[in-house]
Each structure stands twice: as structure tokens, then as C-alpha cells.
């Protein structure tokens, strides 16, 4: 792989790079080495990826900005390709200072990605207006690896126990009622929000969509109005 870019949370470290290594372990059990906080991703992850960057950041403003991003509480996004991104779940940094020759000073960053896939920087969306049980939406993953969409239901009237099902019969659903104007979101990690508030966990399976087009079927309780807007948001995935 020809690595010509190293950008972490919008900070371009490419000019300061000396060495970059990119290691992928096709074994979800390797997550055990990275700490309990990301073990929950093992079932969704096809492996683990470790990227090591070694360089000398000679610009103080860039160095301070990087430290703020590294140790801040926000998400960590790495780009090795200008059009794709990697979700970083763990990070460590080591400064090696040469007191006699500043040019030999090195910073080593080790980044862990529980999900080793790369995702399109730009999101894709598909949307339909649902008027009856069994209405269908087509989602097209233009990448080369499976991806997990986020699903948003905006109710036009009362909806009871909404669910969506893929062609293999895997169903993602939620038990409860949503009223006109409410927005229910199935997150990629299996959690659910209602009007921005935590609404517990989804029932069934997180839907992982293979490359190509997938038809998803909408359902809810027979006593529902069925009237809502269903929107899928995803990023094409690549190995």
C-alpha cells in the first residue's frame, strides 16, 4: 500500500513523516489486547488494524494542536487516502527526545482501529415515504466491503413497533410507540434514540449491507398508521 497521506482529525502530518506502518490482524480475538472498552466491537469487526506513525513535528503550532486532538474526548478519524477515513478506537503516543540533536527527536503514534475497514468520507443517503406495511427501500453500497447504515424514522402519525428486514430475514426493530413528528434513529452500534434522547437498544440484528443494492422491507404493528419517512445514511466501505 502506497501511503502518501497521514491526517488525524484534520491535522496533516504528512510533511513531518519519517515512517508509517500499517498492520491488519484478521482475528477479532486480537481486540482482547486493546482493553475492555472496545471489546464490544468484536462481533461487528472483521479484524483489528494497527497503524504506527513515526516523525518529527518541527512546527510547534501543529504539535500543540495534535496533542489537543489526541487527548481530547472527541472521536478520532484517520485518513491515509484523501477520499476515505478510518475510525480510530485507541491511541498512544511516545516522545523520544534527543537532547543533543533536535533533528533526531521522534514522536511515535500508535493508532488502533477495531474496525479495519476504510469508509468513504462522504455519506450516502436513501429515503422513501412509507404508507403501508411491506413498503421497500433500496440501499446501494458502492464499496467493496459490507457497511452498516444508520436508519432514521420520522413519523407522520402514530407508529407502533417499527422494524426493517433485509433479504436474508435479519430484522432490526424497536418496541414502543412514536407519535407524529417524532424522530427515531437506529444507530450503527445497535442503540436507539428518540428525539435525540436514549431509547434503549434495538431488537434483532444490526443490518450489515453487502456491496451492491439491497432491498429493505419496512414493517410495524397492524394497528399503526404506517405513515412515516424512512431514511438510510451510510458510508461505502473498502478493505
The 10s digit of each residue's pLDDT in 52-87 is 999 999 898 999 999 999 888 889 999 999 999 999
Give the model confidence (pLDDT) of 86-114 as tens digits: 999 989 898 886 666 667 778 999 999 98
Q: How many domains does the chain have?
A: 2
The reply to whether 138 and 83 lie within a common domain is: no
In a domain, 1, yes or no: no
Closest CA relative to residue 142, chosen from 117, 165, 119, 113:
119
The reply to whether 115 and 128 lie within a common domain is: no
Which of 90, 120, 150 is at the close of a domain?
120
The reply to whether 151 and 103 lie within a common domain is: no
In a domain, 2, yes or no: no
Range of the domain at 151: 124-238
Give the model confidence (pLDDT) of 121-178 as tens digits: 999 999 999 999 999 999 999 999 999 999 999 999 999 999 999 999 999 999 999 9
Distance CA 239, CA 220 (A): 35
The reply to whether 196 and 156 lie within a common domain is: yes
The reply to whether 22 and 103 lie within a common domain is: yes
Residues 6+ apart with CB under 8 A from 138: 126, 213, 214, 215, 216
DSSP-assigned letter for residue 209: B
The reply to whether 85 and 150 lie within a common domain is: no
Count the alpha carbons within 13 Å of 89 in the hemisphere toward its beta carbon. 21
The reply to whether 184 and 224 lie within a common domain is: yes
Which of 84, 105, 120 is at the close of a domain?
120
The reply to whether 172 and 231 lie within a common domain is: yes
CATH number reported for the structural domain that contains residue 196 in this entry: 2.60.120.860
The reply to whether 232 and 131 lie within a common domain is: yes
Which of 53, 88, 120 is at the close of a domain?
120
What is the pLDDT confidence band of residue 43, given thresholds at 50, 70 and 90? Answer: very low
pLDDT of residue 26: 55
Amino acid at each position: 500500500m502506497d501511503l502518501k497521506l497521514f491526517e488525524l482529525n484534520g491535522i496533516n502530518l504528512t510533511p513531518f513523516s519519517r515512517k508509517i506502518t500499517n498492520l491488519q490482524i484478521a482475528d477479532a480475538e486480537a481486540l482482547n489486547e486493546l482493553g475492555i472498552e472496545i471489546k464490544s466491537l468484536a462481533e461487528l469487526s472483521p479484524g483489528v488494524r494497527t497503524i504506527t506513525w513515526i516523525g518529527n513535528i518541527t512546527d510547534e503550532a501543529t504539535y500543540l494542536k495534535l496533542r489537543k486532538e489526541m487527548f481530547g474526548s472527541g472521536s478520532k478519524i484517520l485518513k491515509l487516502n484523501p477520499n476515505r477515513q478510518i475510525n480510530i478506537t485507541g491511541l498512544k503516543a511516545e516522545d523520544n527526545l534527543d537532547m543533543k540533536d533536535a533533528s533526531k527527536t521522534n514522536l511515535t503514534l500508535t493508532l488502533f482501529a477495531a474496525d479495519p475497514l476504510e469508509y468513504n468520507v462522504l455519506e450516502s443517503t436513501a429515503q422513501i415515504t412509507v404508507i403501508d406495511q411491506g413498503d421497500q427501500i433500496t440501499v446501494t453500497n458502492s464499496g467493496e466491503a459490507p457497511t452498516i447504515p444508520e436508519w432514521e424514522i420520522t413519523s407522520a402519525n402514530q407508529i407502533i413497533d417499527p422494524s426493517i428486514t433485509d433479504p436474508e430475514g435479519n430484522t432490526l426493530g424497536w418496541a414502543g410507540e412514536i407519535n407524529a413528528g417524532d424522530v427515531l434513529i437506529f444507530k450503527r452500534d445497535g442503540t436507539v434514540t428518540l428525539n435525540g434522547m436514549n431509547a434503549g437498544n434495538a431488537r434483532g440484528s444490526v443490518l450489515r449491507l453487502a456491496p451492491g443494492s439491497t432491498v429493505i422491507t419496512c414493517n410495524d404493528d397492524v394497528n399503526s398508521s404506517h405513515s412515516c419517512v424512512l431514511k438510510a445514511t451510510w458510508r461505502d466501505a473498502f478493505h
